[in-house]
Structure 1
Amino acid sequence: MKPTRSTTLAATALVTVALTATACGPSGPAKSKNSPGTPGGAYSVALTEPDHLLPGRTTSSYSLQVLQGLFDPPASLDPEDGSVKPLAASSWSSADNIVWTVRFRPGTTFHNGERVTAASFADAWNAAAYGPNGWEANYYFAQIKGYDALNPSEEGAKPAARTLSGLKVLDDTTLQVTLKAPFGQFPMLLSFPAFAPLPKAATVNPDAVDVAPIGNGPYRLDGRWERNQKIRLKKFTAYRGIRKPMADDIDFKIYTSRETAFTELQAGNVDVLTTIPAANSAQAKRLFGDRFSIRPSGTMDYLGLPVKDPRFADPRIRKAISMAIDRKGITQAIYNGVYKPATSVVGDMIPGHRPDACGRTCAYDPAAAKQLLVCPGGVAGARAGEVATADPTDAQWLTAGGHPPKGH
């Protein structure tokens, strides 16, 4: 996290489709309490309550906003061109895209003074990859050799190992990573917060560190995580990384809805809103003028179908549900065209994106959807209202998709 003197008002990408979608959201500076270009000061950021603050334990965008300040993963993504750049790592190399040598910057510490070493990264990755731990980012480590032994596919089977065989600590600053197969995008994977290091305390009592995180980033936790109220970060004065934090303090104010947060922004009670309600985009543009802009995002929301449920086991049923959702209509009616439906699981701002990869499956065609259900026999009992979401403000687009077409 690198706040500037002109704080940012942004709406992250919201997916308005089933299966695949990306979007663009409004962003731009809101009002700042300090003079432009002047270091220091405090900023408040509106946030929905995170689920966890242990990097490998979450993939929630609300958690990641906080983790970006608390932790330095090995790499970072340049927001301008999408290139991968070293962060906690100083370099990485591979002759075959299978065996990678990752070298970390020496002389860095966690917020409790403990040295950050290659083992700090290996321990964190092993904890996230170990299936019985049930950490949300587990699957991010599936490319590493030994992952399958930690995550047996047979129900009730016990893991054959507790650590990834593909990780080898060569010395305090060097980690050798062996993948299951060639994967040239491995450095990009290293930019995800789940690949950040963890102190020894996290392997002993992860629940305690989850609520009182000890990171290696430019900011440390100030005080305690006040559930459903606030999270305060303070600049870590012993930070030896390469990021240059501008603010002295960052206050994350937790709100139950984006609408409430937007009202607080208007009232001047919060400086930064990273996700404004798209329905308020026109109003926000009038209020904030050139401090409001639209920029692309690679963030994606999606509807996940329970494929173990016999009603959704047939891929034709899942395709029918996708084709029964009017993505374009939803983006126009609910989000004023601020967001856009995706045609791929990879956003168009990400290198490697292929346009229209989803094809007809993402095209609104209720007649074809109904025809697909004739053979499988329909999805009796599966209704659009049976949806669970971590963000209550998503209810509008979730219900706007209508009900799946019924078969015969």
Structure 2
Amino acid sequence: MKLSKRRSALVATGLSAALLLTACGGGDDSESGSGGGGGEGGTFSIYIGEPENPLIPSNTTESEGHQVISSLWTGLVQYAADGAVEYTGVAESIESEDNTTWTVTLKDGWTFHDGTPVNAQSFVNAWNWGAYSPNAQGASYFFSNIQGYDELQAPTDADGNPTGEPAATEMSGLQVVDDQTFTVTLASPFAQFPVTVGYNAFYPLPESFFEDPEAFGTRPVGNGPFQASEDFVPGQGFTVTRYDDYAGEEAAKAEEVEFRVYADLNTGLNDVEAGNLDVLPDMPPDALAGAEDTFGDRFIEAPSSGFTYMAFPTYDPRYSDKRVRQALSMAVDRQAISDAIFSGSRTAADDAIAPVVDGYREGACEYCALDVDRANQLLDEAGFDRSQPIELWFNAGAGHDAWVEAVGNQLRENLGIEYTLRGDLDFSEYLPLQDEKGMTGPFRLGWSMDYPSPQNYLEPLYSTAALPPAGSNASFYSNPEFDSLVQQGNGASDNEQAIELYQQADDILLEDMPIMPMFFDLEQALRSENVSDVVIDVFGDIDVAAVTVNS
């Protein structure tokens, strides 16, 4: 989820051009709310929801916190607005002869906001800390393909509770060669490794982090275009300032950015309309009709990697039978909901892989097509108790109420099942409850890719290795055959073979249906007259460094 506009060559030997699974499409700046005027300097404000956790890269796995830390850090590589990999970050090169041992060479001149150098040890220390299971980092899973990761995981009992300490504190696959060089040895070949390391889990950390991680999460010290000069206040946010010693190719245009925490998307919309907020990264569904006519070029639309779905709590006996999950999915008319709620701007999902990456297949999801008769048949075969209502969960204040209610109405009409809406939790409360197996019915989730690969739509969400707290497998789905096919895809020597294996894993997933795919998204944002050059990328992030404050 990185933002950059300049493309440079990928110089990883062993990674062919075909393996750069970049997103297709992408809007250019002239059609993304850009405008004239401005110049460097000024202050603008941007809407965010409450981050789930303190602002630590390896524990930030959701959109609200990520929007903040992506302005405070720059990774080894960056991603263009259309998802293409760019060597505009800290890495000079990432090279391998066998796709297993990778040599990472860093550029000179990068510093953290406290003035200390960004060096090889900064990355190795950060990755080891993020992988070490007692630290309970939500993005720990992303290090799981590095040799020695298993030794950093504490032994557990049958319920997943730790029963001892890990065997090691450092992964054997990470070795510092010198200040500007380190090597990464993977447990098995993974040709796409350089594509992944722009994700925030792989950001570096300064030495000051390890002295007091808790305080660091309140006032983080990164190496990005903006720096935190005050504490982040839950429920309010904070203001960040431009880092004048930034070593990246483009300095931030604005002097300051105010990240403002909102509990409700409609409040944010009202503030933009009143001139009290400058950037709203998402639009409430009921404001989409006529938005272009109302707001003109201040209304921004761009391609998205976003994928909206309802996950099933597979640990709940009521949803443990895949026939129940298949039936509920087949009872929902996704296109009708898109037309009614989103003015037709969402595409009915027919795969678990989004169309923006190679590997998507039209109509791959058999159980995503409306078929009321078959849905009722499957529900009867599974012995589902229709007398008990279904609880439908979604996070509050983010504009999900209407479409989740529409899902409930269709389940009632097509299957004769009543429903109860559970939409009273803020995002920062909603996500931890999922990790605690607290969902009592289908629950809304969304996913924007972390890096441009079909693998990112599969392994981080549904693999056994990604079960909480190490990853984002909130449905607690586990299938060894799925895991094996993903791993085979990771080790494939060419793009064609990798995609074939990922699609086989996708087929297993779409048969087991631990989720109900709903929509492929479209990025829709709004800016005030105070700013221009507002670009929203395929990951759903605003490039805050590119925003111009109009004079």
The answer to whether the superposition gives a TM-score over 0.5 is: yes
Give the aligned partner of residue 372 of structure 2.
366
Is the Cα–Cα contact under 8 Å of residues 4 and 80 in structure 2 kept in the other structure?
Answer: no
Give the aligned partner of residue 434 of structure 2.
none
Is the Cα–Cα contact under 8 Å of residues 71 and 196 in structure 1 kept in the other structure?
Answer: yes
CA distance in 1, matches of 2:211, 2:364: 44
Q: Is there any run of 5+ residues in structure 1 with no aligned partner, and where?
A: 5-23
CA distance in 1, matches of 2:382, 2:176: 52
Give the aligned partner of residue 395 of structure 2.
389
Corresponding position: 1:29 with 2:33:
yes
Corresponding position: 1:260 with 2:263:
no
In the alignment, which of 69, 82, 100 is matched to residue 98 of structure 1? 100
Is the Cα–Cα contact under 8 Å of residues 370 and 406 in structure 1 kept in the other structure?
Answer: no
Give the aligned partner of residue 38 of structure 1.
39
Distance 1:3 1:343, change over 3 A: same
Give the aligned partner of residue 206 of structure 1.
213
Moved more, 257-266 or 377-386: 377-386
In the alignment, which of 189, 202, 213 is matched to residue 196 of structure 2? 189
CA distance in 2, matches of 1:205, 1:365: 55
Is the Cα–Cα contact under 8 Å of residues 56 and 194 in structure 1 kept in the other structure?
Answer: yes
Distance 1:300 1:175, change over 3 A: farther
Give the aligned partner of residue 346 of structure 2.
339
Distance 1:361 1:160, change over 3 A: farther
Corresponding position: 1:178 with 2:182:
no
CA distance in 2, matches of 1:226, 1:232: 10
Is the Cα–Cα contact under 8 Å of residues 2 and 244 in structure 1 kept in the other structure?
Answer: no
CA distance in 2, matches of 1:381, 1:142: 43
Is the Cα–Cα contact under 8 Å of residues 130 and 150 in structure 1 kept in the other structure?
Answer: yes
Give the aligned partner of residue 300 of structure 1.
307
Is the Cα–Cα contact under 8 Å of residues 123 and 203 in structure 1 kept in the other structure?
Answer: no
| SS in structure 1 of the partner of residue 271 of structure 2 | helix
CA distance in 1, matches of 2:388, 2:248: 50
> What is the CA distance between 1:3 and its match in structure 2?
11
Distance 1:83 1:72, change over 3 A: closer
| SS in structure 2 of the partner of residue 301 of structure 1 | strand
CA distance in 1, matches of 2:142, 2:39: 39
Distance 1:383 1:202, change over 3 A: farther
CA distance in 2, matches of 1:73, 1:382: 49
CA distance in 2, matches of 1:250, 1:55: 19
Distance 1:184 1:390, change over 3 A: farther
Is the Cα–Cα contact under 8 Å of residues 3 and 79 in structure 2 kept in the other structure?
Answer: no
In the alignment, which of 389, 395, 406 is matched to residue 400 of structure 1? 406
Is the Cα–Cα contact under 8 Å of residues 74 and 90 in structure 2 kept in the other structure?
Answer: yes
Q: Percent identity?
A: 34
Give the aligned partner of residue 49 of structure 1.
50
Give the aligned partner of residue 285 of structure 1.
292
Distance 1:263 1:173, change over 3 A: same
Give 1:335's aligned amino acid: F
| SS in structure 2 of the partner of residue 245 of structure 1 | coil
Is the Cα–Cα contact under 8 Å of residues 384 and 399 in structure 1 kept in the other structure?
Answer: no
CA distance in 2, matches of 1:379, 1:95: 57
Give the aligned partner of residue 18 of structure 1.
none
Moved more, 74-83 or 118-127: 74-83
CA distance in 2, matches of 1:163, 1:371: 53
Within a 5 Å distance, the mapping from 1:263-274 to structure 2 comes to 263-274=270-281
Is the Cα–Cα contact under 8 Å of residues 2 and 245 in structure 1 kept in the other structure?
Answer: no
| CA-to-aligned-CA distance 1:115-152 (integer Å, 9 cap, x gap) | 21111111221222222322221222222222333345
Give the aligned partner of residue 68 of structure 1.
70
Q: Is there any run of 5+ residues in structure 2 with no aligned partner, and where?
A: 6-25, 418-551
| CA-to-aligned-CA distance 1:244-280 (integer Å, 9 cap, x gap) | 2111111112211111111111111111111111321
| CA-to-aligned-CA distance 1:91-113 (integer Å, 9 cap, x gap) | 10111211111112222111112
| CA-to-aligned-CA distance 1:182-205 (integer Å, 9 cap, x gap) | 222212211111111112232332
CA distance in 2, matches of 1:168, 1:144: 11
> What is the CA distance between 1:237 and its match in structure 2?
1.3
Give the aligned partner of residue 432 of structure 2.
none
Give 1:44's aligned amino acid: S
Give the aligned partner of residue 123 of structure 2.
121
Give 1:241's aligned amino acid: G
Give 2:79's aligned amino acid: L
| SS in structure 2 of the partner of residue 337 of structure 1 | coil
| CA-to-aligned-CA distance 1:289-325 (integer Å, 9 cap, x gap) | 1332421111233323222333333333333333233
| SS in structure 1 of the partner of residue 227 of structure 2 | strand
> What is the CA distance between 1:390 and its match in structure 2?
6.5
Give 1:373's aligned amino acid: L
Distance 1:264 1:185, change over 3 A: same
Is the Cα–Cα contact under 8 Å of residues 394 and 401 in structure 2 kept in the other structure?
Answer: no
CA distance in 2, matches of 1:401, 1:117: 50
CA distance in 1, matches of 2:385, 2:131: 35
Is the Cα–Cα contact under 8 Å of residues 278 and 338 in structure 1 kept in the other structure?
Answer: no
Distance 1:338 1:161, change over 3 A: same
| SS in structure 2 of the partner of residue 393 of structure 1 | coil
CA distance in 2, matches of 1:146, 1:135: 17
Higher helix residue share:
2
Is the Cα–Cα contact under 8 Å of residues 49 and 62 in structure 1 kept in the other structure?
Answer: yes
In the alignment, which of 222, 226, 229 is matched to residue 229 of structure 2? 222
Give the aligned partner of residue 544 of structure 2.
none
Is the Cα–Cα contact under 8 Å of residues 94 and 100 in structure 1 kept in the other structure?
Answer: yes
Is the Cα–Cα contact under 8 Å of residues 223 and 246 in structure 2 kept in the other structure?
Answer: yes
TM-score by length of 1: 0.85
CA RMSD of aligned residues (A): 2.8
